[in-house]
Amino acid sequence: MSTILGMLIFVGVLFTCVMPFFLYINRVNSLYDQTVIEMKQQDQDRTLENIEVYAYPLNDTDNRISLYIKNQCPLTVEIVRIWVNDEFYSCSIQIPGMNWNITAPINVTLPESNSTFYVKITTARGNCFSSRTNPLLYTAGSGWSGGGELSINVVISRDYHGTVTYNIKVTKVSDSSIVCDDDVTLTGNTPSYFKKVDIELPDTYNVKITKGDTLLKEEQVEVTWQSPTQWVYVNDSNK
């Protein structure tokens, strides 16, 4: 009888103490394995992020900067911070895979003389991407410049809503060869658009921006090694 009672007590202790402990250990191991898998997936997603960022002023003397952000990966990317030098601006911008977005203008303090602006963004996955137009230079009396690469940067600003298609055409003056002939459609309340046209060699180029049959702007710009980046601003207003 005592043997049976001892066995029953042993079985009771086993089920009330030992078995829950083993179940707890198995649950902890399962949570650990799940966390490891999630961290590996997060690291892989962070590695896959590929974003092009272009910061640009709205015109040659404006104190506002917008960002053209192009998501080059198949994942949806969330932008959580925009940095201008050492100052950051919190935001929450969702950009689907292989898509682009334009941020709302950011007011910056313009200096009384000269200043350099470096712009970058931070994603929710922890990646940082610098603007490809860094550094932006502002000189009192002459306005914005900078970029550092052989290119023509076209900025289109508008102050109304609706769907509009613009054509941006850049040709080399010397031989009339076409460097860029792109259409871009802005919808809704998109306030501006940025187009970086890469140039192979210094030369004089004709830049023409049209909206349907309406010519918005046409001018010739000279790209040199001393001034490798030229900016062309277009203001499309219904007023």
What confidence tens digit (pLDDT) does each residue in 42-92 have? Answer: 777 888 999 999 999 999 888 999 999 999 999 999 999 999 998 999 999
- Cα distance between residue 62 and residue 143, in whole Å: 8
Binning pLDDT at 50, 70 and 90, where does residue 159 land? confident
On average, the pLDDT of the chain sits at 88
Are 205 and 170 a contacting pair, CB within 8 Å? yes
Is pLDDT above 70 for 4? Answer: no
The pLDDT value given to residue 13: 61
- Average pLDDT, integer, range 108-136: 91
Kindly state the helix (H) or strand (E) to which residue 41 belongs, with its residue range: helix 19-48
Binning pLDDT at 50, 70 and 90, where does residue 188 land? confident
The pLDDT value given to residue 124: 93
- 81-111: pLDDT as tens digits: 999 998 999 999 999 999 999 999 999 988 7
- Cα distance between residue 142 and residue 119, in whole Å: 21
10 Å Cβ neighbour count for 199?
20
The pLDDT value given to residue 1: 64
Higher pLDDT, 233 or 8: 233
The pLDDT value given to residue 136: 94
- 14-33: pLDDT as tens digits: 566 666 666 777 777 777 76
The pLDDT value given to residue 35: 74
